[in-house]
Amino acid sequence: MAIKHFLQFSDFTLDEFEYLFERAHLIKRKFKNYEPHHTLLDRTLVMVFEKNSTRTRLSFEAGMHQLGGAAIYLNTRDSQLGRGEPVEDAAQVMSRMCDIIMIRTFGQDIIDRFAANSRVPVINGLTNEHHPCQVLADVFTYIEHRGSIVGKTVAWIGDANNMLYSWLQAAQVFGFHVNVSTPKGYDIDPSLVTANKSRYTVFGDPSDACVGADLVTTDVWTSMGFEAENAARLQAFDGWIVDSAKMRCAHPDALFMHCLPAHRGEEVAAEVIDGPQSVVWDEAENRLHVQKALLEYLVLGRLT
């Protein structure tokens, strides 16, 4: 089987995502019933982290163990990558010693260069530009709670960051619409948008973006790597909090999602993230199940 990577959401077709969700449902059911599912017995995942993580590390490491394999954690501070080893050289070496690699780093160019020199599949655990594994879990979570996402409206409130760009790619693949509202100066970068313009609408007022939405989602106002901008961002994002008033603009049975960690009182009000429309804990858990399906697919291909 030819090597396949998952570097951004658009790397997979709708048919592939439907297969992944089918497998994720099976894997999750078996997990809940304490049934073993060791399809990656004696296989090894290497996880390379340049950015800190809770959910990404835990979901990939636990997931690989639950699939019967092993997971090895590498931090760039503790490896030769932190001492200037070329990404291309690291890819050549690491990919000869394992079956699949997950990388959580800064620029998308880093993971692209790594994958171009890898002999095994590479997964994007997060970059500045894309966060495909999180949106994979988010779409799966929506389908679990509300059925098909085709033709639905997702409201994105906040920064034009990696999550938004992955949501826009997902809209193109699945056939839904994204209402986007970002403060001035934190707008969409057209160079990072691959979705057709018919798949999203930009709103100046975040409340307008929530009108009729089936899902309202947001993220922290200051992503990792932009901490120096925090004070300026707190001022610029004033009014972009997802609160009860904005949720009332959405469809009555709209869901709320957040990729976490969350700052209550900043990008989301406590009554929303802790309220009845919030599915953030299911969303977080589903990282485990969809990524197990992803690991299985990239290493073994389709299973019958």
Q: What is the 3-state secondary structure (H, E, C) of 235-268?
A: HHCCCCCECHHHHHHCCCCCEEEECCCCCECCCE
Per residue in 201-260, pLDDT tens?
Answer: 999 999 999 999 999 999 998 876 778 888 899 999 999 999 999 999 999 999 999 999
Q: Kindly compute the dihedral angle of the four CA atoms of residues 249, 238, 156, 27, in this order, to the nearest 10 degrees.
A: -100
Catalytic residue flag (residue 29): no
CA angle 223, 225, 226 (to 5 degrees): 65
Q: Which of 8, 130, 259, 289 is catalytic?
A: 259
Q: Which of 98, 214, 219, 251 is catalytic?
A: 219
Catalytic residue flag (residue 134): yes
Strands (E), the chain: 44-49, 70-75, 100-104, 122-126, 153-157, 177-181, 200-202, 215-218, 255-258
The domains found in the chain, sorted by start residue, are 9-130+284-300 (3.40.50.1370), 134-279 (3.40.50.1370)
Per residue in 58-78, pLDDT tens?
Answer: 999 999 999 999 999 999 877
Catalytic residue flag (residue 169): no
pLDDT at 1 over 80: no
Two structure tokens written together for 62 = 């636990």
Mean pLDDT of 153-157: 98
Catalytic residue flag (residue 259): yes
Q: Which of 5, 23, 43, 104 is catalytic?
A: 104
Per residue in 98-117, pLDDT tens?
Answer: 999 999 999 999 999 999 99
Q: What is the pTM of this model?
A: 0.96
Q: Which of 130, 287, 289, 291 is catalytic?
A: 287
Two structure tokens written together for 275 = 């309220």
Catalytic residue flag (residue 131): yes
Catalytic residue flag (residue 43): no
Contact 100, 300 (CB under 8 A): no
Instruction: Please provide the DSSP assignment of 164-200 as one string.
Output: HHHHHHHHHHHT-EEEEE--TTS---GGG--S-GGGE
